[in-house]
Structure 1
Amino acid sequence: MITPQHQKLSDRIQKERDCKRSSARVYSSNLHRIHREFLPDTKYSQDLKWLKSNSGRLLTKLKKIDNLNTQRNLLAAALVGFDLLKQTASREPYVEQIAVLNERQKNQDTSERTPKQQAKFVNWNKIIKLRRLLTRTVRLGKYYTRKKLSKQEFQTLQQNLVLHLYTEIPPVRNDWSTIVFMTSSEWDELSTEQKKASNILVMGRGAYHVYWADYKTVKKHGVIQQVIPRPLMSLLKKHIKFLKRHFPENDHLLLNTTGTPMSRNGLTKFLQRLFYRHFRTKTSTSALRSIFLSHKFDRKLLDEQASVAKAMHHTTEVARQFYVKKK
């Protein structure tokens, strides 16, 4: 949850850039990080005056960051700051540096994991084994039917659910932390605006659906309806029944140990603690998404598809849509 120290800045960024609240929070958090790590000799304020006269020396320091993604993210945050300050002249060298980073990344061999990615990697089959272990623990402990659970048992219950959410269907980012659940009749009563504002799990009699309306690329893809497969639906049904019994005023799917809704950042830490305990890796949703796709698809085949498509003067998407047929 964002602190009051960043609240006004997040509000301002969201208003002036017309971006999602989560994006505004990331920008404000990165701007605070820029001040804390690179300009600590200046006095922090949300009006960003400390950034105004330090663009040159800040850029020099940011260029020394080895991790390309980290450097790019902080450069982008600085650009947002310059936009708020109306400092057009300060933007150009930052834009040029981002272009340099993009070119460097384009020339890198992205088929190999970086040391940072390797440190978070866990074999997919081991993750499935952990899911089975947690499922067995929950079943043998009769967690869903007991009147009272300890904090650790409740954590195990949620760990089991989260692993199912991120392995039984293609893993999304941290958006499961924002899911609220409701019946199909409650869904029907919502206005169009309400349906487009939140991520909602709709519990129908014959099927469960998730309506993804609050995620990173929603402006490009719009609201996505996803059908929940039967095995996952069965688990969700038990879990929501448990939540209604123990947290009757709550409609959020994932909770902290205090019973309050879990945040996106909270889900990251939740997963990292789970994976560190079992595998000594700090694996988060981003790493899980990479692990899933690496397990699902052969990288050499994907590279070959791209190479063939280029030689045929079209894209892989055109090849799939118009040329490749079932054998």
Structure 2
Amino acid sequence: MKWLSDDASSILGKIKKLASVNIQRNLIGTGLVAFGILADKKNQDIWIKYLKELNLKKAEMMKSGELTTKQKSAWIDWKEVVKLRKMVARRVNLTKVYDRPFNKRDFLVLQRLLILSLLTMLPGVARLDYATIRIISKKDFEKLPDQTAENYLVTGRQYKIIFQKYKTSATYGIVNIPVAKYSRPLQRLLQRHVRYLHENFPENDCLFLNRNLTCMSRNSLTKFLQRLFKEFFKKSVSVTMLRHIFLTNKYDKKQLEEQAETSKFMMHSQAMMKDYVKKRP
């Protein structure tokens, strides 16, 4: 990797010419790892300084709400994602896929329905961490010596999804989602899907399986979703993009900015301001 230190200035110049801030940040991050290994503090400091500039630029872009060129090319309306889920659900119900003997083509359709349902029927939980979920009964979950080892779908009378192994878990801790509270149809779908998995893969405890019928990884789920959206929308839509689409559909950016400004003048946090808002008499 010594070539990187030797040509660091030239390489940085080429990175700066790239149109995408995100690609620049990714490349700078990779370079910084290499400089750390090489103990090249001089170039490391130069690249860190530019990374800080990129981070400021990224923050301004996020604040403005403007879509990047790449985001514009991947944008779809949230209602189209919901419409796709309903279309796949009709196919599953009309052809009674859950009641047929297992075949890979049917299983692809069932997994598509499940991930689309999880993405659109729960409150904004667009996460690749669905790939890491393990299925476990409430009885077995309560017997675990360490209940924080995995992300779980806890089955029983009331299904629960428990996220505790995810990127920002140190900040937000355990996220416990009682499925029926948000969507009874989703709970019924999960019950059918778990039963189907137990019948066809009795040794499996993963909620999602890849093409060779082993546990799906986060990377596998990324590719699974990309193929799905490419097929129906001719666009490459990431989970991060889905978060942008969901939140843009649900909230008005101008209103959120006004809330932030109001809370500042009232010298309250936005959380405290919410407590001051009452139901109208």
Report if TM-score (shorter chain) is over 0.5: yes
* 8 Å Cα contact 1:154/1:257 also seen in 2: no
Equivalent in 206, 222, 242 of residue 252 of structure 1: 206
- The alignment status of 1:64 with 2:17, answered yes or no, reads yes
For each residue in 1:37-95, what CA deviation from the matched residue of structure 2 results, as whole angstroms up to 9, or x when unmatched?
xxxxxxxxxxx445444433332222222111221122123223323333323221112
* 1:96 counterpart residue number: 49
Aligned residue identity for 1:223: I
Aligned residue identity for 1:251: D
Give the number of aligned pairs. Answer: 275
Q: Distance in 2 between matches of 1:247 and 1:50?
A: 50
TM-score (norm 1): 0.78
TM-score (norm 2): 0.90
Report matched runs for 1:230-245 at 5 Å: 230-245=184-199
Q: Distance in 2 between matches of 1:76 and 1:98?
A: 8
Equivalent in 179, 185, 196 of residue 228 of structure 1: 179
Aligned residue identity for 1:292: F
* 8 Å Cα contact 2:263/2:269 also seen in 1: yes
For each residue in 1:131-150, what CA deviation from the matched residue of structure 2 results, as whole angstroms up to 9, or x when unmatched?
1111111111111111232x
* 2:73 counterpart residue number: 119
* 1:139 counterpart residue number: 93
Equivalent in 214, 233, 246 of residue 292 of structure 1: 246
* 1:199 counterpart residue number: 151
Report matched runs for 1:269-284 at 5 Å: 269-284=223-238
Q: Distance in 2 between matches of 1:317 and 1:49?
A: 50
Aligned-pair CA distance for 1:105: 3.1
Q: Distance in 1 between matches of 2:50 and 2:163?
A: 35
For the aligned residues, what is the CA RMSD? 1.9
- The alignment status of 1:158 with 2:116, answered yes or no, reads no
SS in 2 for 1:250: coil
* 8 Å Cα contact 1:121/1:291 also seen in 2: yes
- Structure 2: tracts of 5 or more residues without a match: none
Aligned-pair CA distance for 1:291: 1.1
SS in 2 for 1:144: helix
Aligned residue identity for 1:92: D
* 1:40 counterpart residue number: none
Aligned-pair CA distance for 1:298: 1.2
Identity %: 38
SS in 2 for 1:226: strand
* 8 Å Cα contact 2:126/2:242 also seen in 1: no
* 8 Å Cα contact 2:132/2:151 also seen in 1: yes
- Structure 1: tracts of 5 or more residues without a match: 1-47
Q: Distance in 1 between matches of 2:60 and 2:177?
A: 36
Aligned-pair CA distance for 1:215: 0.7
